[in-house]
């Protein structure tokens, strides 16, 4: 594992594990960049402090209690895992479905997927007070417990994303290997979502979760929110001058987003109809769901439907779909809607407990909130650093169809500091 | 990340600009990484180890037999008669759980008046933290004419009401326990004699078992259990249960020694019966055969081992 | 305190007299207090013991000389029947005017004995479950099988049912976990609600350590300062345009 000075006229670029890391760009970064990094670092530091509180004080510092067994970290886990998959679906569609208009997004999408999955896993780990006991996962795993499968899937998926990113950047193995990685990555992403949904759905004890439609809803929510976030982040990176995309790509992304949003909303409506239809309604079920439509939890679930339909409405008109403001608004609305959906989904397991007792809505404690914010800012910090240091711009000759030459040479661009692919 | 693929410019064993050879630098880096990993594991462990005081030392060392006639005499007698079979934190094996018994409980909801004496006898017997926020047994005040949990009341202040009936709920020790199926590290399992137990040393505190339990019978120790020194039951762990899940164990420390459970003993109206289903003359066998017995959430096919008769 | 002791010390004779009267007053008051309680519980203490037994302790049977020497007969211990004891029957009052005679032998003969339908006399201190069996056969069989009650010897002696107020169940001297000992009724006939032991426990509150709150306050202040520093120039530029 060596770091070399690359024999090019570019100062500050070091090659490491085959990637040209542009540390010179960090040196030339302005004060605004560094104050943003400092801000994120402070929030991350507070998150680490909050985690230290959990480790020293125990679970007492969290707002979760017997009646609300899983809390904010679980909503975040589902949310981040979902966002991660969306990016990967976009990237996979490049190779699997020939959607080459998304090719410029490939590296950014995979990087985001890896960082988000890492944040999700860390959120899970920070919830355990005696975290060092997780070695039992490998020593005596329970083959019937779905938790084992989702945990291992998330870990494997994170590693896969980073390996995939390395393959994309270094160009090792060329188009063939990239294609094969897609063939592995997409099924793993679907497997990850199935198992995450299974953690909820495969519980006969929690009526609102125990539904087969949970798995496809997870998949569509994940894809929709992931694509929406990817769109927003791509716009941000373009605005900051790090990457450059064609507007047709964004339009294509918005079409994909609109399609997935409406499928997601449709399945949610099907679920609601099944709960309330007279010949299918069960008292315990309708009582629990009504907490979320008209009861004390309505404030978190009703916006899911409202924002979702507004987002779809914004994107539905073909004539206005190309306007960046429309795209960004719709994407932002939908990301928020999916976050609220994850939060209400987590609450659905506990709003009325297994012994029929009503619980007040749960709000995270200061410690939980800071851990979640810390993880979010850690992810953003990694993306911010990667924006300068990693070569995220996909060279032109990797956009089109057909097999790629094994050693593609791209001209280094001083402003963005992308590296030379081997 | 293998060096042989990438270091075309750096063959193995060559000297770097700073003078060290590749292999030595690699070795030092690996040492540093290992030290970091060890530190990352040890530091939180040291910081968060619960104060290992006399409370969680084994009873034989911490509690010396007191002078005859003194307060601690009774305690010493208990310790002596049960000497090596002490916990803490490990699965409890007293009498031989050879599976010849099949422990079950029957609760007579006609007799139950909701006095909660069983709840508190259980708290005392099982070293439940006095401020931990849960009890193993939860008594529900039910509306007459139906078994509807959504209209039940848990925190009733008046008991023995003639227009309600009372149903205590606790771990059912199901034959097909969803908690056992859901534990990712196999920290909970069903013993041959039917009791579902938890290994407090293994439990990672993920609380998945609490999610899967349809009876809300499992409880997480969000705080370290606080039990007054004078009320500690030496046969049951206290501090080891911090940040792990615990639940009713059919008083495994009693029932495997020929006694009955604390809740059965405490019930003043004899509404609780505990016994062996394999014995046709036990209370539970007779009641299930002769009375109209039913179980909670039968449709989930968890096959609970607590029947209700009314 | 010092003044009173000196007063007592100065007059020892009056001191002893005072003490005697105090003790006497206490004893009399205690006896008076017990009497209404006793009648309310209809003759049974909370430990299940019979309070008024044996009857002959208050109603001695003496030999009444008859007309001729040698024809002495025992006196009737309760010539006025059972009017003297103000016993309130609950549940068994359904047996009507002659409720007492359903179980007790004729008060003119031997009220300390209970009689079965076939005339057999049972001693009140013995196993009187056979009496209950006559009407409550199913319950008795369950009781014998051990599935009703807690494997006691008798329906009443262990402190479960008082036949005069059978729906009162005496809890006996068991140390409760929290709260005080209590008496409560069986389900079905409730006049006065009783308070169950405690409430379900409250979940422990969330506590944040002090150092953490201070660190968070400082961190939040820094974050806001940085945010302002980042955002202000952009806003200022926009405003200038």
- Give the residue-averaged pLDDT of A79-100: 88
Within 13 Å and on the Cβ side, how many CA atoms surround A129? 29
Other CB atoms within a 10 A radius of the CB of residue B77 amount to 11
Which residue in chain B has the smallest CA separation from A150?
A: B184
Q: What values do phi and psi take at C5, rounded to 5?
A: -65, -40
pLDDT higher than 60, residue A102: yes
C216 shares contact with chain A (CB less than 8 Å): yes
pLDDT of C100: 75
In Å, what is the CA distance from B85 to each residue of B58, B194, B200? 10, 20, 17
Tell if the CB–CB gap between B300 and A2 is shorter than 8 Å. Answer: no
Other CB atoms within a 10 A radius of the CB of residue A414 amount to 12
**What span, in angstroms and rounded, lies between the C-alpha atoms of B227 and B124?**
9
pLDDT of B25: 78
Closest approach of chain B CAs to the CA of C149, in angstroms? 4
A203 shares contact with chain B (CB less than 8 Å): yes
Within 13 Å and on the Cβ side, how many CA atoms surround C216? 21
Complete DSSP assignment for chain C: -HHHHHHHHH-HHHHHHHHHHHHHHHHHHHHHHHHHHHHHTTTB-TTS-BSS--GGGTS---EEP-SSTT--EEPPS-TTTTTTS-PPPSSGGGG-TTHHHHHBPPTTT-TTEEE-TTS-EEETTS-THHHHHHH-HHHHHHHHHTSSSSS-SSTTTTSSEETTEEEEE---S---SSS----EEPTT--SS-B--SS-PPPPPPP---HHHHHHHHHHHHHHHHHHHHHHHHHHHHHHH-
Which residue in chain C has the smallest CA separation from A367?
A: C208
Name chain A contacts of C201, Cβ cutoff 8 Å: none
Name chain A contacts of C226, Cβ cutoff 8 Å: 35-36, 38-39, 42
Dihedral-angle region of residue B261 (phi above 0 means left; psi in -120 to 50 means alpha; beta otherwise) = beta
The first and second tokens of residue A289, run together, are: 């769901």
Residue A22 lies in a domain: no
A31 shares contact with chain B (CB less than 8 Å): no
C222 shares contact with chain A (CB less than 8 Å): yes
Choose the closest CB to A57 out of C209, C215, C230: C209
Choose the closest CB to C186 out of B131, B269, B283: B269
pLDDT higher than 50, residue C183: no
CA angle C77, C82, C88 (to 5 degrees): 145
Question: Where is pLDDT greater, at A233 or C95?
Answer: A233
pLDDT higher than 80, residue A259: yes
The closest of A9, A8, A10, A16 to A170, measured between CA atoms, is: A16
What's the domain count of chain A? 1
Query: B261-279: buried (b, 16+ CB within 10 Å) or exposed (e) per residue?
Result: bbbbbbbbbbbbbbbbbee
Which residue in chain B has the smallest CA separation from A127?
A: B206
pLDDT of B55: 34
pLDDT of B69: 43
Complete DSSP assignment for chain B: --HHHH-SSS-TTPBPTTS-BHHHHHHHHHHHHHHHHHHHHHHHHHHH-----GGGS-HHHHSPPPPTTSTTHHHHHHHHHTTT---SSSPP--S---S---EEEEEETTT-----HHHHHHHHHTT--TTSS--S-EEEEE-TT---GGG-BSS-S-B--TT-EEEEE-----SS-HHHHH-TT--EEE-TTS-EEE-TTT-----HHHHH-TT---EE-SS-----GGG--TTS-SGGGTTSEE---S-HHHHTTT---HHHHH-TT--EEEEETTSTTSHHHHHHHHS-EE-TTGGG----SEEEE-
Rg (chain B; Cα; Å): 26
The closest of A212, A218, A5, A253 to A108, measured between CA atoms, is: A253
Tell if the CB–CB gap between B119 and C195 is shorter than 8 Å. Answer: no
pLDDT higher than 50, residue A51: yes
**What span, in angstroms and rounded, lies between the C-alpha atoms of C105 and B99?**
54
pLDDT of A154: 95
Tell if the CB–CB gap between B185 and A206 is shorter than 8 Å. Answer: no
pLDDT of B51: 39
Tell if the CB–CB gap between B205 and A59 is shorter than 8 Å. Answer: yes
B243 shares contact with chain C (CB less than 8 Å): no
pLDDT tens, residue order, chain B (310 aa) = 444 444 444 444 555 565 555 577 777 877 887 777 776 666 665 555 443 333 333 333 333 333 444 444 544 544 444 433 333 334 444 445 555 788 999 999 988 988 898 999 999 999 999 999 999 999 999 999 999 999 999 999 888 788 999 999 999 999 999 999 999 999 999 888 889 999 898 999 999 999 999 999 999 999 999 999 898 888 888 988 999 999 999 998 888 877 889 999 888 888 999 999 988 888 899 999 988 999 999 999 999 999 999 8
Closest approach of chain A CAs to the CA of B2, in angstroms? 7
Tell if the CB–CB gap between B162 and C204 is shorter than 8 Å. Answer: no
Name chain C contacts of B139, Cβ cutoff 8 Å: 196
pLDDT by residue (tens digit) across C127-173?
778 888 888 888 888 888 878 877 777 776 555 676 766 766 655 44
A236 shares contact with chain B (CB less than 8 Å): no
Tell if the CB–CB gap between C222 and A365 is shorter than 8 Å. Answer: no
The first and second tokens of residue B209, run together, are: 């078992």
Orientation of helix A106-127 relative to helix A72-96, angle to 10°: 160
**What span, in angstroms and rounded, lies between the C-alpha atoms of A262 and C138?**
66
Tell if the CB–CB gap between B222 and A65 is shorter than 8 Å. Answer: yes
pLDDT of A194: 94
Within 13 Å and on the Cβ side, how many CA atoms surround A255? 11
The first and second tokens of residue B120, run together, are: 């508190």
The first and second tokens of residue B76, run together, are: 């010493």
Name chain B contacts of C145, Cβ cutoff 8 Å: 283, 286
Query: A203-234: buried (b, 16+ CB within 10 Å) or exposed (e) per residue?
Result: bebbbbbbbeebbbbbbbbbbbbbbbbbbbbb
Closest approach of chain C CAs to the CA of B302, in angstroms? 26
Q: What is the pTM of this model?
A: 0.77
Residue A373 lies in a domain: no
**What span, in angstroms and rounded, lies between the C-alpha atoms of C104 and B67?**
53
Closest approach of chain C CAs to the CA of B27, in angstroms? 38
pLDDT higher than 90, residue C70: no
Closest approach of chain B CAs to the CA of A400, in angstroms? 28
3-state DSSP call for residue A87?
A: helix
Complete DSSP assignment for B81-124: HTTT---SSSPP--S---S---EEEEEETTT-----HHHHHHHH
Which H, E and C letters describe B20-66, residue by residue?
A: CEHHHHHHHHHHHHHHHHHHHHHHHHHHHCCCCCHHHCCHHHHCCCC
Tell if the CB–CB gap between A61 and C206 is shorter than 8 Å. Answer: yes
**What span, in angstroms and rounded, lies between the C-alpha atoms of A304 and A322?**
24
- Are A268 and A305 in contact by the 8 Å Cβ rule? The answer is yes
- Are A150 and A195 in contact by the 8 Å Cβ rule? The answer is yes
Q: Which residue bears the tokens 């709840």? A: B119
Name chain C contacts of B114, Cβ cutoff 8 Å: 196
Tell if the CB–CB gap between C169 and B268 is shorter than 8 Å. Answer: yes
Q: What percent of chain A has pLDDT over 70?
A: 91
- Are A193 and A199 in contact by the 8 Å Cβ rule? The answer is no
pLDDT higher than 90, residue A351: yes
Q: What values do phi and psi take at C122, rounded to 5?
A: -110, 140
Complete DSSP assignment for A132-166: GGGGHHHHS--TT-HHHHHHHHHHHHHHHHHHHHH
Closest approach of chain A CAs to the CA of B113, in angstroms? 19
ipTM of model: 0.85
Partners of residue C115 on adjacent β-strands:
C121
pLDDT by residue (tens digit) across A176-211?
888 898 899 999 999 999 999 999 999 999 999 999
- Are B116 and C198 in contact by the 8 Å Cβ rule? The answer is yes
H/E run at residue A4: strand A4-5
pLDDT of B8: 46
- Interface chains of chain B (3 or more CB pairs under 8 Å): A, C
Rg (chain A; Cα; Å): 22
Q: Which residue bears the tokens 């998945």? A: B208
Tell if the CB–CB gap between A205 and B212 is shorter than 8 Å. Answer: yes
Tell if the CB–CB gap between A59 and B220 is shorter than 8 Å. Answer: yes
pLDDT of A191: 94
Choose the mutation target among B38, B136, B211, B301 for the interface with A, i.e. most A CBs under 10 Å: B211
Residue A327 lies in a domain: yes
pLDDT higher than 90, residue A324: yes
pLDDT of B132: 92
Residue A55 lies in a domain: no
If contacts are CB pairs under 8 Å, which of residues 274-303 in chain B contact chain A?
A: 300
B241 shares contact with chain C (CB less than 8 Å): no
Closest approach of chain C CAs to the CA of B34, in angstroms? 30
**What span, in angstroms and rounded, lies between the C-alpha atoms of B247 and A132?**
23
B22 shares contact with chain C (CB less than 8 Å): no
pLDDT by residue (tens digit) across A7-22?
555 677 888 888 888 8
Complete DSSP assignment for C190-207: -SS-B--SS-PPPPPPP-
Choose the mutation target among B133, B186, B244 for the interface with A, i.e. most A CBs under 10 Å: B186
- Are A332 and A233 in contact by the 8 Å Cβ rule? The answer is no
Within 13 Å and on the Cβ side, how many CA atoms surround C39? 11
Tell if the CB–CB gap between A1 and B204 is shorter than 8 Å. Answer: no
H/E run at residue A54: helix A31-57
Tell if the CB–CB gap between C209 and A56 is shorter than 8 Å. Answer: yes
Peptide bond into C54 cis (omega under 30): yes
Tell if the CB–CB gap between B287 and C193 is shorter than 8 Å. Answer: no
A138 shares contact with chain B (CB less than 8 Å): no
Tell if the CB–CB gap between C193 and B160 is shorter than 8 Å. Answer: yes
H/E run at residue A62: none
Q: Tell me which residues of chain C have a C-beta less than 8 Å from any C-beta of chain B.
A: 145-150, 169, 171-172, 174, 176-178, 182, 184-190, 193-204
- Are B65 and B76 in contact by the 8 Å Cβ rule? The answer is yes
Complete DSSP assignment for A208-254: TT--TTHHHHHHHHHHHHHHHHHHHHHHHHHHTTS----HHHHHHHH
Q: Mean pLDDT, chain C, as a whole number?
A: 69
**What span, in angstroms and rounded, lies between the C-alpha atoms of B102 and B86?**
23
Tell if the CB–CB gap between A35 and C212 is shorter than 8 Å. Answer: no
Name chain C contacts of A62, Cβ cutoff 8 Å: 206
Residue A256 lies in a domain: yes
A54 shares contact with chain B (CB less than 8 Å): no
Q: How confident is the model at residue A39 (pLDDT cuts 50, 70, 90)?
A: very high
pLDDT by residue (tens digit) across A213-253?
999 999 999 999 999 999 999 999 999 888 999 999 999 99
If contacts are CB pairs under 8 Å, which of residues 211-270 in chain B contact chain A?
A: 211-216, 219-224, 242-244
**What span, in angstroms and rounded, lies between the C-alpha atoms of B206 and A69?**
9
**What span, in angstroms and rounded, lies between the C-alpha atoms of B212 and A24?**
53
If contacts are CB pairs under 8 Å, which of residues 65-94 in chain B contact chain C?
A: none
Greatest CA span in chain A, whole angstroms?
74
């Amino acid at each position: 594992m060596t770091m070399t000075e690359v024999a090019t006229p570019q100062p500050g670029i070091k090659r490491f594990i085959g990637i040209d890391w542009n540390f010179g760009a960090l040196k030339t970064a302005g004060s605004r960049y560094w104050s943003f990094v400092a801000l994120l670092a402070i929030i991350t530091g507070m998150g680490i402090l909050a985690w230290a509180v959990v480790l020293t004080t125990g679970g007492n510092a969290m707002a979760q209690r017997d009646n609300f067994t899983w809390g904010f970290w679980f909503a975040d886990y589902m949310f981040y895992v979902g966002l991660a998959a969306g990016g990967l679906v976009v990237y996979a569609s490049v190779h699997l479905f020939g959607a080459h208009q998304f090719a410029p997004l490939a590296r950014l999408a995979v990087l985001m997927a890896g960082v988000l999955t890492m944040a999700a896993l860390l959120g899970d780990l920070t919830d355990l007070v005696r975290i060092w006991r997780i070695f039992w996962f490998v020593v005596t795993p329970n083959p019937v417990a779905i938790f084992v499968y989702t945990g291992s899937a998330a870990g494997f998926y994170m590693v896969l994303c980073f390996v995939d990113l390395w393959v994309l950047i270094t160009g090792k193995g060329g188009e063939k290997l990239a294609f094969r990685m897609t063939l592995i990555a997409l099924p793993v992403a679907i497997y990850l979502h199935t198992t995450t949904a299974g953690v909820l759905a495969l519980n006969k004890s929690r009526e609102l979760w125990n539904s087969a439609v949970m798995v496809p809803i997870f998949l569509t929510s994940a894809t929709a929110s992931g694509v929406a976030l990817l769109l927003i982040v791509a716009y941000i990176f373009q605005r900051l001058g790090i990457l450059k995309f064609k507007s047709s790509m964004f339009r294509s992304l918005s079409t994909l987003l609109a399609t997935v949003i409406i499928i997601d909303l449709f399945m949610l409506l099907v679920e609601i109809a099944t709960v309330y239809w007279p010949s299918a309604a069960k008292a315990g079920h309708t009582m629990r769901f009504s907490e979320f439509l008209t009861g004390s939890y309505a404030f978190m679930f009703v916006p899911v439907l409202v924002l979702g339909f507004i987002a779809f409405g914004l994107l539905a008109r073909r004539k206005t779909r190309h306007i960046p403001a429309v795209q960004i608004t719709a994407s932002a609305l939908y990301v928020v809607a999916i976050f609220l959906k994850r939060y209400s989904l987590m609450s659905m397991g506990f709003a009325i407990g297994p012994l029929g007792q009503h619980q007040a809505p749960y709000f995270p404690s200061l410690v939980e909130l800071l851990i979640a914010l810390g993880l979010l800012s850690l992810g953003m910090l990694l993306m911010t650093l990667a924006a300068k240091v990693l070569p995220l711009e996909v060279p032109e000759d990797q956009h089109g169809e057909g097999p790629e030459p094994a050693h593609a040479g791209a001209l280094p661009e001083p402003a963005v500091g992308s590296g030379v692919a081997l | 990340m293998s060096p042989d693929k990438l270091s075309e410019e750096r063959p193995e064993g060559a000297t770097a600009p700073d003078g060290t050879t590749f292999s030595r630098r690699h070795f030092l880096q690996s040492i540093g990484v290992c030290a970091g990993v060890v530190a990352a594991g040890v530091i939180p462990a040291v910081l968060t180890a619960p104060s290992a005081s006399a409370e969680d030392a084994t009873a034989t060392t911490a509690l010396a037999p007191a002078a005859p006639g003194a307060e601690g005499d009774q305690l010493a007698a208990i310790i002596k008669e049960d000497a090596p079979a002490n916990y803490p934190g490990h699965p409890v094996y007293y009498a031989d759980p050879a599976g010849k018994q099949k422990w079950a409980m029957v609760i007579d909801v006609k007799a139950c008046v909701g006095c909660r004496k069983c709840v508190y006898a259980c708290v005392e017997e099982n070293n439940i933290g006095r401020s931990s926020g849960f009890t193993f047994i939860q008594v529900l005040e039910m509306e007459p004419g139906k078994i509807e949990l959504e209209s039940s009341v848990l925190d009733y202040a008046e008991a023995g009401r003639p227009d309600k009936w009372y149903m205590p709920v606790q771990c059912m020790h199901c034959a097909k326990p969803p908690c056992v199926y859901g534990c990712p590290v196999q920290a909970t399992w069903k013993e041959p004699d039917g009791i579902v137990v938890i290994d407090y040393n293994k439990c990672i505190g993920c609380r998945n078992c609490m999610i899967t339990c349809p009876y809300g019978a499992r409880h997480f120790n969000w705080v370290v259990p606080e039990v007054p020194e004078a009320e500690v039951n030496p046969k049951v762990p206290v501090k080891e249960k911090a940040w792990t899940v615990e639940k009713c164990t059919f008083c495994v420390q009693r029932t495997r020694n020929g006694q009955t459970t604390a809740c059965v003993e405490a019930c003043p109206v004899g509404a609780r019966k505990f016994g062996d289903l394999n014995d046709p003359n036990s209370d539970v066998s007779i009641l299930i055969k002769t009375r109209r017995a039913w179980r909670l959430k039968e449709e989930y096919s968890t096959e609970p081992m607590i029947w209700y008769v009314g | 305190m010092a003044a009173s002791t000196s007063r007592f010390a100065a007059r020892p004779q009056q001191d002893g007299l005072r003490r005697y009267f105090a003790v006497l007053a206490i004893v009399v008051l205690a006896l008076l207090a017990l009497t209404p309680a006793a009648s309310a519980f209809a003759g049974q203490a909370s430990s299940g013991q019979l309070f008024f037994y044996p009857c002959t302790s208050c109603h001695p049977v003496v030999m009444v000389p008859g007309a001729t020497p040698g024809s002495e007969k025992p006196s009737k211990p309760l010539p006025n029947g059972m009017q003297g004891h103000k016993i309130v029957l609950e549940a068994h009052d359904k047996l009507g005017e002659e409720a007492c005679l359903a179980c007790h032998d004729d008060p003119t003969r031997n009220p300390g004995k209970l009689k079965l339908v076939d005339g057999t006399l049972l001693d009140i201190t013995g196993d009187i479950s056979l009496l209950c069996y006559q009407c409550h056969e199913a319950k008795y069989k369950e009781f014998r099988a051990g599935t009703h009650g807690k494997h006691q010897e008798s329906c009443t002696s262990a402190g479960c049912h008082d036949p005069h107020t059978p729906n009162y169940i005496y809890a006996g001297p068991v140390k409760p976990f929290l709260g005080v000992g209590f008496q409560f009724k069986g389900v079905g006939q409730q006049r006065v609600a009783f308070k169950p032991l405690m409430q379900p426990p409250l979940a422990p509150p969330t506590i944040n350590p002090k150092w953490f709150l201070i660190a968070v306050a400082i961190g939040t202040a820094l974050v806001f300062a940085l945010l302002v520093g980042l955002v202000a120039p952009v806003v200022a530029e926009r405003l200038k345009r």
